[in-house]
């Protein structure tokens, strides 16, 4: 039988790669195990060819008139790569995800039920929609694949709540249906957890993880300006195209703008952009029509461009495993690729935020569950209206409760199940503890004098004692100098000083006890924000002035006046109003100094009422309601013309929205908000 499988596998391989091609070490063994042992876990380095295992298995199973292959994959970019590769070998493939219309989804599911398609890729989110769950029992599945399987394990570096319920699908599969899980990033602990979740007798294909064609260099460039300067000094010296990874969407946007200003053809890529734009960027990058793609982790797992020649981390990833995954995008089919790791003063704050919010807290889980249990069906916005919890946290908590089978969803409403509420706090704290230990590993990595590649694979429990021979520590010198040129540093500083953030006006009131979700009939105009709170430069000055010196420095007044001078003139702004505080006069003091610099009067028109602190409000319902309670106009206030509305820090924009609305009701024709810093946390994907 083994000889028969081998012959079929080699024939299938030629369909994908052409005549004369042979399997890489371990590939055939994984194929044979999948087709005979029924449960297989493949843990192999990036670029090894894990997708070839399920492509070949699919080809064989379909020729034997077995069921279709269903692949669960986290990323749309991965799906596009896979579909193109499979189609070249004559497999009929489909993707089933959120980009499809309801009609398209129905057509694909109907084709799956009729056995007219060979391979279907879907996301875990789509897998658990009602339409797919209803169809699954009618579909003959010949092979079930979980790609990037470390996402199933909460011990994995990129654990995702959406992946949690996949093990329940696996446990419901018929025993004769092969199950294949693949990943490049699983240490011993994750492997053992995945074996338990796959169930039965699991065959593990695990090979060496060292990538000897990846040169690694760590760059001690702590500040944003020096990192910007290094990039324009060096990117065009590296042949080919590459990726720069950033931790936030804002960083992607600003860095992309800077690179393009300095003759480096770059495009941003993150989940805040329209998917059509991201797909266009992928296509341009695949054709090498752009030099660099500046991306969040959205362009992480599975992206397969064989000739990526460099990967640069603008900030330090939170763990070695994620770092290995991301640098593994480079050098898949070229002799040498370069990777560079920068690390900044802001990195740990960003990482700690994501570590601490990975799971809902016991308070959040109990609060959301209790509310659902006390009511007969609640929608997401019903929950937010009743609980002071952000939309993102409520959504994460609902996924968590669904995975724990404590709540279930019917149409758009959530209901409590019959199961008893239990919050396994000790386990979740253990996972957070592991995350912090992984963060410490990354800090040790940037300080090591040994081989960088060896350090990484050792952290992944590949106990090799061999060095890569090409990293900065192995060769004993920097291939690309970490010293930046004065001219590039000057350009970087000038750019960062002129970067401004728009304050987009809110156009609808949130649902509160004061008002429903109705249109704001007199919204603000688009405003300006000077900086990101706490960041090097003006953001750091704002933080210091707000909490340390209790006075915003003259540099902030001078810069604000410079930024606003044209707006004041063009929009004929005649007065400046400010957002008052009961706790401090720091904004009032700044506003009067700024108004004097701009040559317009500062008016004291708002009454600050006793209320909770706005920063304690977690979602729009509570933020809007609290802002409305917090401010009123002084009796007899009558205004005209255009007004500049000043505050120190903007986050949800509800304070500026409410105060602007009050100014409009008193006769102001236009209101232009201005804030010194933005504290909003943008997503990191």
Angle CA 395–399–402, to nearest 5: 135
pLDDT tens readout for residues 362-372? 999 999 999 99
Cα(first)–Cα(last) distance of the chain, in Å?
46
Instruction: Name the band, by pLDDT with cuts 50, 70 and 90, for residue 589.
Output: very high
Domain positions in the chain are: 2-206, 214-351+442-496, 500-678
As beta bridge partners, residue 115 has none
How many C-beta atoms lie closer than 10 Å to residue 381's C-beta? 17
The Cα–Cα gap between 563 and 613 comes to: 29
- pLDDT above 80 for 284: yes
Q: Which CATH superfamily is domain 214-351+442-496 in?
A: P-loop containing nucleotide triphosphate hydrolases (3.40.50.300)
- Closest of 423, 408, 430, 418 to residue 366, by C-alpha: 423
pLDDT tens readout for residues 6-56? 999 999 888 888 888 899 999 999 999 999 988 999 999 877 888 899 999
- pLDDT above 70 for 315: yes
Do residues 628 and 514 make contact, with C-beta atoms less than 8 angstroms apart?
yes
Strand (E) or helix (H) holding 374: helix 362-374
Q: Are strands 573-578 and 119-122 parallel, antiparallel or unpaired?
A: unpaired
Strand (E) or helix (H) holding 292: strand 292-295
In the structure encoding, which two tokens stand for residue 3, read together?
């000889």
- pLDDT above 60 for 301: no
pLDDT tens readout for residues 201-258? 899 999 999 999 999 999 999 889 999 999 999 999 999 999 999 988 989 999 999 9
pLDDT tens readout for residues 636-681? 999 999 999 999 999 999 999 999 999 999 999 999 999 999 987 6
Pick one of 3.40.50.300, 3.20.20.60, 1.20.120.140, 3.20.20.70 as the CATH number of 2-206: 3.40.50.300
pLDDT at 318: 81
- Backbone φ, ψ for residue 605 (5° rounding): -110, -15
pLDDT at 603: 97
pLDDT at 345: 66
pLDDT tens readout for residues 608-640? 998 888 888 888 888 999 999 999 999 999 999
Do residues 642 and 635 make contact, with C-beta atoms less than 8 angstroms apart?
no
How many C-beta atoms lie closer than 10 Å to residue 513's C-beta? 10
How many C-beta atoms lie closer than 10 Å to residue 553's C-beta? 15
Angle CA 428–432–436, to nearest 5: 170
pLDDT at 320: 87
Mean pLDDT of 477-489: 96
The Cα–Cα gap between 181 and 332 comes to: 21
As beta bridge partners, residue 364 has none
pLDDT tens readout for residues 96-151? 887 788 899 999 999 999 999 999 999 888 898 889 989 999 999 999 999 888 88
Do residues 564 and 674 make contact, with C-beta atoms less than 8 angstroms apart?
yes
The Cα–Cα gap between 345 and 297 comes to: 20
**472 vs 74 pLDDT, higher one:** 472
Mean pLDDT of 312-324: 89
Instruction: Name the band, by pLDDT with cuts 50, 70 and 90, for residue 561.
Output: very high
Do residues 75 and 300 make contact, with C-beta atoms less than 8 angstroms apart?
yes
pLDDT at 297: 82
* pLDDT, the chain, mean: 90
pLDDT at 300: 62
**494 vs 347 pLDDT, higher one:** 494
Pick one of 1.10.760, 2.60.40, 3.40.50, 1.10.3470 as the CATH number of 500-678: 3.40.50
Q: Are strands 606-608 and 631-633 parallel, antiparallel or unpaired?
A: antiparallel
As a whole-number percent, the residues of the chain with pLDDT over 90 amount to: 61
Which DSSP symbol is given to 137?
G
pLDDT at 319: 85
Residue 148 contacts by C-beta under 8 Å, 6 or more apart in sequence?
73, 74, 158, 182, 183, 301, 302
- pLDDT above 80 for 382: yes
Strand (E) or helix (H) holding 519: none
The Cα–Cα gap between 521 and 518 comes to: 9
**278 vs 257 pLDDT, higher one:** 257
């Amino acid at each position: 039988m083994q000889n028969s499988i081998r012959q079929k596998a080699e024939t299938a391989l030629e369909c994908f790669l052409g005549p004369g091609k042979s399997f890489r070490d371990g590939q055939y063994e994984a194929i044979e195990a999948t087709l005979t042992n029924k449960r297989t876990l493949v843990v192999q380095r990036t670029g090894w060819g894990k997708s070839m295992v399920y492509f070949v298995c699919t080809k064989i199973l379909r020729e034997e008139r077995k069921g279709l292959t269903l692949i669960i994959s986290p990323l749309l970019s991965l799906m596009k790569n896979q579909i193109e590769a499979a189609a070249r070998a004559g497999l009929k493939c489909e993707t089933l995800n959120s980009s499809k219309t309801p009609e398209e989804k129905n057509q694909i599911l109907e084709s799956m039920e009729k056995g007219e398609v060979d391979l279907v890729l879907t996301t875990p989110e789509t897998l658990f929609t009602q339409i797919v769950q209803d169809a699954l029992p009618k579909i003959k599945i010949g092979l079930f694949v979980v790609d990037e399987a470390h996402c199933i394990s909460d011990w994995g570096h990129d654990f995702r709540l959406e992946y949690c319920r996949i093990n329940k699908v696996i446990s419901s599969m018929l025993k004769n249906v092969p199950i294949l899980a693949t990943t490049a990033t699983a240490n011993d602990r994750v492997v053992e957890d995945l074996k338990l979740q796959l169930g039965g007798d699991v065959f593990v294909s695990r090979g060496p993880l060292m990538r000897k064609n990846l040169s690694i260099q760590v760059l001690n460039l702590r500040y944003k300006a020096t990192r910007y300067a290094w990039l324009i000094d060096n990117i065009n010296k590296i042949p080919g195209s590459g990726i720069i990874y950033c931790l936030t969407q804002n960083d992607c946007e600003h860095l992309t703008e800077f690179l393009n200003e300095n003759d480096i053809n770059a495009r941003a890529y993150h989940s805040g952009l329209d998917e059509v734009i991201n797909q266009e960027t992928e296509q341009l990058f695949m054709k090498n029509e752009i030099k660099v793609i500046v991306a969040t982790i959205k362009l992480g797992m599975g992206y397969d461009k064989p000739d990526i020649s460099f990967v640069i981390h603008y900030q330090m990833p939170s763990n070695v495993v994620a770092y290995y995954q991301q640098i593994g995008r480079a050098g898949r089919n070229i002799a040498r690729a370069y990777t560079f790791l920068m690390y900044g003063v802001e990195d740990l704050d960003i990482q700690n935020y994501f570590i601490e919010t990975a799971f809902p807290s016991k308070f959040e889980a109990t609060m959301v569950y209790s509310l659902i249990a006390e009511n007969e069906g609640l929608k997401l916005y019903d929950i937010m209206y009743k609980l002071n919890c952000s939309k993102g946290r409520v959504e994460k908590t609902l996924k968590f409760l669904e995975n724990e089978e404590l709540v279930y969803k019917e149409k758009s409403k959530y209901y409590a199940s019959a199961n008893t509420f239990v919050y396994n706090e000790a386990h979740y704290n253990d996972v957070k503890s592991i995350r912090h230990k992984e963060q410490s590993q990354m800090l040790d990595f940037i300080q090591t004098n040994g081989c960088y590649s060896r350090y990484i694979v050792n952290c992944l429990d590949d106990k090799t004692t061999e060095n890569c021979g090409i990293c900065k520590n192995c060769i004993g010198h920097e291939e690309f100098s970490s010293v930046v040129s004065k001219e590039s540093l000057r350009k970087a500083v000038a750019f960062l000083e002129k970067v401004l953030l728009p304050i987009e006006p809110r156009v609808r009131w949130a649902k509160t006890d004061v008002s429903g979700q109705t249109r704001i009939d007199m919204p603000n105009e688009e405003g300006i924000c000077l900086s990101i709170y706490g960041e090097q430069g003006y953001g750091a000055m704002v933080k210091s002035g707000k909490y340390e010196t209790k006075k915003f420095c003259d540099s902030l007044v001078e810069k604000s006046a410079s930024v606003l001078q044209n707006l004041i003139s063009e929009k004929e702004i005649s007065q400046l109003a400010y957002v008052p505080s009961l706790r401090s006069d720091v904004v009032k003091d700044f506003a009067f100094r700024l108004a004097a610099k701009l040559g317009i009067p500062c008016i004291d028109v708002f009454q600050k009422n006793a209320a909770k602190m706005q920063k304690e409000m977690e979602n729009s319902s509570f933020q809007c309601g609290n802002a409305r309670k917090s401010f009123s106009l002084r009796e007899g206030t009558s205004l005209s013309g255009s007004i500049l509305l000043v505050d120190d820090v903007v986050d949800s924009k509800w304070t500026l929205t409410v105060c602007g609305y009050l100014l409009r009701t008193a006769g102001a024709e236009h209101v232009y908000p201005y804030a010194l810093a933005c504290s909003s946390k943008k997503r990191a994907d």
